[in-house]
Structure 1
Amino acid sequence: MNKETMAACALPVLVIGSLNMDLVVTVCQLPQQGETVFGRNFATFPGGKGANQAVAAAKLGARVTMVGCVGQDNFAAELLESLRLAGVETSQVRSVTGKTTGVALITVADKGVNTIVVVAGANQECNPGDVQAALAKTKNPGIVLLQNEVPPATVEYAIRTAGEQGWKVIYNPAPARTVDAGILGLVDILTPNETELAALTGMPVRSQQEAVAAGKKLLQTGVKQIIVTMGAAGALLIAERMVKAVPAIQVQAVDSTAAGDCYTGAVAAGLAEGQPLETALHFAAVAAGLSVTREGAQSALPSKDAVEKYMRKKVKMYEKKWRAE
């Protein structure tokens, strides 16, 4: 089966979430209240957790449609172009009159210390009607991917409605906020990091042991599987009868921006292709690891070819070592 046939057979991925333009200034030190400092560099990067995850999944071979809102400004055009270049379908991104496109104002000092101010803008206009229209347009259910950068009512509607229509729901509960247990119980796969898991459970999450304890508490809500992303420590898959650690790959990290988004998008892409969950997690670990070796958010997200090349290289290394032994 060639790549084109495999792509046609894969499940569709519907990403419902935010589109932001990141405005990044680097400085020697963060300014104190009332202080003015000189910046060193300024750059703009397409971002937003929803858009990042959509681009990640598309670059990794998934058929992705983005659902969200932008304003009527230059940032909107740049964000849509970034999505299209990655192969994401953008017909379900709605342009909102009178609203600005979402932005994140990021000041980064030495050693990566930063301050971030997010102006949601048009992202706040993404509503259940947008979700309903996108679901209705897709004939066969696939995977719905959600985060917390659009209104809670929209997220909850999408989880309920998509599940009722036979979609597999992957929910990345970021940024952290409390979520009704009844909603969590409708989720197929939950992908929090340590901070988000702590926010959902009210339990400390400072180690793998604590992550397992908190994850098992969340299973009581009815969520089927939990993937806790822990950065360089890898990830934990927590299910009713299984706890499995999936290590991160060893790389020289340059910029961890969007690594978590890459991981979640990669899991969705792997499952959409028909990979078993554990295989998809190893696939995601490689994708996220490669993403931190480059600067930026969407621009740093790796292609499927890059991930598969890395995996083939590792297989050959293990085979060579095994034969030598």
Structure 2
Amino acid sequence: MKKPKIVIVGSSNTDMVIKVPRIPIPGETIIGKNFMMIPGGKGANQAVAAARAGADVTFITCVADDAFGRQAIENYRKEGINTSYIKVVKGEHSGIALIAVANDGENSIAVAPGANNLLLPEDIEQFEDAFSEAQLILAQLEIPIQTVLSVAEIASAKNIPFVLNPAPAMPVPVDLLKKVTLITPNESEAGILTAQENLTGNNIQKMAGSLREMGAKTVLVTLGEKGVYLKNEKHQGMLVGYPAKAVDTTAAGDIFNGTLVLALADGKEIKEAIDFAQRAAAISVTRIGAQPSAPTRQEIDCFI
């Protein structure tokens, strides 16, 4: 079968992970164990998730000409990802994330973007031919916002559905939201996007409605194992998630997004695609690490 073609534009990091008993409070030092160096970055995690689930993925990112960058590109090639449009720069470091993972699966993350900040709008224009056969385009906010806007403009011009995972949370231009086919914030991100950070619980519906009014055609507010709140012209309401014994929640959102776009590009209806992605995310939290936690298509299909 022909694989769905997806272009993912975003960050590439190397995650330096320490297992700790709990997340330390400010000023506190905690003794951890099991240090690991794992490939990560929201864009890269989503690209790997989509590729393992069966997509033909082209990944557009920027890395430095250092050991981390070279290893990242090699890893993407091993996953079958098209690396022809990866920008490599000198005089900068590749993206690095320092991650503490607690025994209950919660995490604390600090990121030094490095080369990710050098993926610029002119690079997207130069790489425009990468989008020519794409069935769907996905981006996040770990690269410059003007670069994301350039991606959205190309998607709009070519009439390709554009999915925005607005993470890490920050206000975004209304011009960008108007070009979004589908947006996937978590609860806190939805609050920041709509300037309603103090709204929770029953106000999920209000935040989703605000994002629709701001231009996004379909809104998915992800709520972890509780599920996903869906709002568009045809659907409105909660879709229940899958409980799982979490050991590391680091990339659950990325796994959700990567497998969601694969499912949509593969022709699944929106609720079916969300269910597919929720199963993938539930599997991922039972495993340590970002990209290593991404399940295969067979694992997702067999998950109950």
Q: Fold-level match, TM-score > 0.5?
A: yes
The count of residues paired between Structure 1 and Structure 2 equals 302
Moved more, 154-163 or 111-120: 111-120
Q: Deviations over 1:16-75 (max 9, x none)?
A: 100000111234563864x76644231111000000000011111111011010011111
Q: 1:68·1:130 contact (CA, 8 Å) conserved in 2?
A: no
Q: Which residue of 1 aligns with 2:122?
A: 129
Any stretches of 5+ residues in structure 2 without a counterpart?
A: none
**Match among 6, 15, 19 for residue 12 of structure 2:** 19
Give yes or no for the alignment of 1:206 onto 2:197: no
Structure 1 distance, partners of 2:208, 2:20, is 38
Q: Which residue of 1 aligns with 2:237?
A: 244
Structure showing the higher helix proportion among its residues: 1
Structure 1 residues 31 and 78 mapped into 2: Cα distance closer, same or farther (>3 Å)?
A: farther
Give yes or no for the alignment of 1:167 onto 2:195: no
Q: Using CA pairs below 8 Å that are at least 6 residues apart, which structure has the higher relative contact order?
A: 2
Please state how far the C-alpha of 1:138 moved relative to its aligned partner. 4.0
Q: Which residue of 2 aligns with 1:157?
A: 150
- 1:1-325 alignment to 2 at 5 Å? 5-7=1-3, 10=4, 12-28=5-21, 30=24, 33=27, 38-109=31-102, 111=104, 114-203=107-196, 204-207=198-201, 209-310=202-303, 314=304
Please state how far the C-alpha of 1:185 moved relative to its aligned partner. 1.2
Larger Rg: 1
Give the secondary-structure state (helix, strand or coil) at the position aligned to 2:17.
strand
Q: 1:197·1:215 contact (CA, 8 Å) conserved in 2?
A: yes
Give the secondary-structure state (helix, strand or coil) at the position aligned to 2:169.
coil
Q: 1:57·1:265 contact (CA, 8 Å) conserved in 2?
A: yes
Q: 1:56·1:265 contact (CA, 8 Å) conserved in 2?
A: yes
Task: Provide the identity percentage.
Answer: 36
Please state how far the C-alpha of 1:241 moved relative to its aligned partner. 4.3
Q: 1:6·1:273 contact (CA, 8 Å) conserved in 2?
A: no
TM-score normalised over the length of structure 2:
0.93
Root-mean-square deviation (CA), in Å? 1.9
Q: 1:15·1:50 contact (CA, 8 Å) conserved in 2?
A: yes
For 1:85, give the aligned amino acid.
K
Q: 2:16·2:35 contact (CA, 8 Å) conserved in 1?
A: yes
Please state how far the C-alpha of 1:214 moved relative to its aligned partner. 0.8
TM-score normalised over the length of structure 1:
0.87
Moved more, 254-263 or 132-141: 132-141
